[in-house]
Structure 1
Amino acid sequence: MASPSRSQAHLFCTVVDNYGDAGVCLRLARHYARKGAQTTLVIDEPELIDRMMPNWRQEPRLSVQTEAPSLAGSPQPIELTVIEAFQFDAPLDYRVALEQLHASGTTVQRIALDYLATEPWAASHQGLASPDLEVKHAAMEKGHSTNPAGPAATRQWFAPSFYGQGFPMIHDDFIEANSEQRQQMRARLGATQSDDFLVMAFGYPDAPWDELKEAFQSHGLPSGFKQAVFWQPKGLELTQDEFDIALQACDLNFVRGEDSFVRAHWAAASRWQVPFVWQPYRQEGNVHADKLSGWLSKAGEFEPHYKAFTLEFNRLGAGAGLSESWSGVLSAWDQIRAQLSQFGFVYKGRDRPT
């Protein structure tokens, strides 16, 4: 990476329905800023950033705005990384200006960052060309041509992935909770007794919470716990740092989407070894089932009861039912905690994006 004053990163994000996209982009922007790049996060709802990370203005190299940065002015950066996240293109005039910036000597890397890819095919697709044909057409309309080695032609596709060639998951901002932080958060989330089994119930509307409670009633809880306490996040009631603490304060995390799913790995790898169950975003064509299957297959050594329970929770199981599969989880509770912890630990050792 070039010197901090001459290295820049521009990230483009739009908020679709939930806040996961904004959360991922904020973590990524903070990562680049802390690596030394003057970083701009362009997002259509910047007020979300204030709620997720109220102290973001204390990051000296991070800015948040709604409009694309100007590429004019001096001095020009030596290198510029442009990340267009989750199938959202930067404004066309900005993308055209990138071609001119590249022609003037700046190294421009454009990345089309897609959603988390757990499927095996993702490994062979990382880094493939994803040319921006709209820029080429815009140039042709003006009687110009684009450089075949320019940013539009050489844009690359990446996705966060558990496979080695993927775009690594950000974890260098994860705060490992100490005992006092964990206890304070448990009380804040409603667990006031030492034998409370605190469950993070962060799922989509079709998550089977009633069935889960019935399973707890029928088969009990892990050793040492007497009663279950459910905490269901409502909106952005916690900052990103507080959410990391909350994941470690619970005894079992049910997480949804992508951002909380990745962070649950780091909570599993923490000293608290908190197990988790993932509910992918439901998609047409059963794409969510492929994502879940891809992740469970990657974690091929997982205890079979854990896999069965995860599938039943997502209504993709063989029909044994959530209650019966929970009984199996209880029989292998310590093994499941250890395996999830190891799986998270392996990925905390991955290289960071540069």
Structure 2
Amino acid sequence: MRWDIFCRVIDNFGDVGVCWRLSAELARRGERVRLWLDDPLALAWMAPGALEGQVEGIEVVHWTTPLHADQVASPPLADVWIEAFGCEPPPECIHDLATRLTGGERPPVWINLEYLSAETYVERSHRLPSPVMSGPLRGLTKWFFYPGFTERTGGLLREADLLQRQAAFDAEAWLRGLGLSPSSRRASLFCYEPAALPEVLRQAAQASWQWLVTPGRAWRAAQASPSGQLHALPLLTQVDFDHLLWACDLNFVRGEDSLVRGLWAGQPLVWHIYPQHDDAHHAKLEAFLDWLQAPATLRVFHRAWNGIGSAAPVWPDAATLDDWRGCVQSARQRLLTQTDLVTQLGDFVQGKR
């Protein structure tokens, strides 16, 4: 089938990260994908070759405003439209589809792929219809599709060979390739600007931990209060970001894509949830910790890391870290029994055509 995936890059490249992983997995399964991006430059380092059309099965389309006429009228109509995270497809695509429908062409299955959450509304809202009530496509139906952590949701992105690749991964060789010593304990840092960071860095330095810090906001935040062994990482491809998580003993992740990859890594993790002005992210974090069945120490650390409450973070000792690891690995095992997101999307689309 042909899939059009529409993505507006809001900030921090999390949206394009999710959409590229989705596109890549669809292409690996023999599907044809057009990925519409208003800011495709992140793919230059995230997925080398993508912008040059070197990834089989995927065409990256620069979503300009307005679109060029040949971007709309010439391609064959897709079988599936996915608007990622509630973005509307370009108006030119809307009008082109309306014209094609008057000519008798079949409309694509139109899916609104939503943000990831463990909150209870996800199970209630997953797969619900959203009728289009106005505009040139009035009368069509969009469908809500929610990724999630339970069997009554759309599942998570997962490649079929993920665990085999992880089992074959040589962490020491990968670290040496970055010029790093594999001897000490390692934590990865991918975060916004948590107020607790200086105290966390101080405590970790006392325990002789090594920090592998991603560029951008995380590195600037760490540099503002340097303590201990900080190693600046280059921009990593999605493959190497997975390697980073596999090579570390504790992963600090942020946003949606890196949280999922942290869960698949099976190592202890701390999630910096995207902050919202009305503090709606507090409930979202608590719902995730409930699903994770997080031990008390991990809950307290998460709340401190996310600026919730007044408790200070306490750096985990070896026994606590083992407790966190067991929790994450148990959660990963539960997830592995569930059908992955791409399989569920494909089954859903087939049922609507």
Common fold: TM-score over 0.5: yes
Structure 2: tracts of 5 or more residues without a match: 217-233, 347-353
> SS of 1:336's equivalent?
helix
**2:6/2:35 contact within 8 Å kept:** yes
Cα shift at 1:32: 1.8
Q: In structure 2, what is the equivalent of residue 158 of structure 1?
A: 145
Q: In structure 1, what is the equivalent of residue 228 of structure 2?
A: none
**1:9/1:81 contact within 8 Å kept:** yes
The CA deviation string for residues 158-186 of structure 1, in whole angstroms up to 9 with x for no partner, is 23211323232211074734566311333
**1:266/1:348 contact within 8 Å kept:** no
Q: In structure 1, what is the equivalent of residue 56 of structure 2?
A: 60
Q: In structure 2, what is the equivalent of residue 260 of structure 1?
A: 258
Aligned residues: 315
**1:98/1:108 contact within 8 Å kept:** no
**2:6/2:36 contact within 8 Å kept:** yes
Q: Check 1:349–1:72 CA distance in 2 against 1; reply closer, same or farther (3 A cut).
A: farther
Cα shift at 1:122: 1.1
The answer to whether 1:277 aligns with 2:270 is yes
The CA deviation string for residues 49-75 of structure 1, in whole angstroms up to 9 with x for no partner, is 12111143443211101147856569x
**2:4/2:36 contact within 8 Å kept:** yes
Structure 1 segment 297-312 matched on structure 2, within 5 A: 297-300=290-293, 302-312=294-304
Whole-Å Cα distance in 1 between the matches of residues 123 and 291 of structure 2?
12
Q: In structure 2, what is the equivalent of residue 216 of structure 1?
A: 204
> SS of 1:284's equivalent?
coil
Q: In structure 2, what is the equivalent of residue 97 of structure 1?
A: 96
Q: In structure 2, what is the equivalent of residue 118 of structure 1?
A: 118
Whole-Å Cα distance in 2 between the matches of residues 37 and 180 of structure 1?
28
Q: In structure 1, what is the equivalent of residue 14 of structure 2?
A: 20
Alignment root-mean-square deviation, CA: 2.6
Whole-Å Cα distance in 2 between the matches of residues 8 and 71 of structure 1?
15
**2:97/2:107 contact within 8 Å kept:** no
**2:196/2:312 contact within 8 Å kept:** no
Whole-Å Cα distance in 1 between the matches of residues 328 and 135 of structure 2?
48
Question: In the alignment, residue 58 of structure 2 is paired with which amino acid?
Answer: L
> SS of 1:117's equivalent?
coil
> SS of 2:10's equivalent?
coil
Whole-Å Cα distance in 2 between the matches of residues 231 and 27 of structure 1?
23
Cα shift at 1:101: 4.2
> SS of 2:130's equivalent?
coil
Choose from 20, 43, 47 the match for 2:41. 47
Cα shift at 1:96: 3.3
**2:98/2:136 contact within 8 Å kept:** no
**2:245/2:262 contact within 8 Å kept:** yes
Choose from 243, 246, 255 the match for 2:241. 243
Q: In structure 2, what is the equivalent of residue 4 of structure 1?
A: none
Structure 1: tracts of 5 or more residues without a match: 1-6, 140-145, 221-226, 269-273
Whole-Å Cα distance in 2 between the matches of residues 309 and 138 of structure 1?
50
TM-score of the two chains, using structure 1 as the length reference: 0.80
Q: In structure 1, what is the equivalent of residue 313 of structure 2?
A: 322
**1:253/1:276 contact within 8 Å kept:** yes
**1:275/1:337 contact within 8 Å kept:** yes
Q: In structure 2, what is the equivalent of residue 3 of structure 1?
A: none
Whole-Å Cα distance in 2 between the matches of residues 277 and 110 of structure 1?
35
**1:191/1:229 contact within 8 Å kept:** no
The CA deviation string for residues 164-223 of structure 1, in whole angstroms up to 9 with x for no partner, is 2323221107473456631133335564152x11111111112522211333356x4xxx
Cα shift at 1:310: 1.6
**1:111/1:158 contact within 8 Å kept:** yes
Cα shift at 1:97: 3.0
Question: In the alignment, residue 170 of structure 1 is paired with which amino acid?
Answer: L
Q: Check 1:229–1:99 CA distance in 2 against 1; reply closer, same or farther (3 A cut).
A: same
Whole-Å Cα distance in 2 between the matches of residues 347 and 207 of structure 1?
32
Whole-Å Cα distance in 2 between the matches of residues 44 and 50 of structure 1?
14
Cα shift at 1:275: 1.0
**2:197/2:305 contact within 8 Å kept:** no
Question: In the alignment, residue 192 of structure 1 is paired with which amino acid?
Answer: S
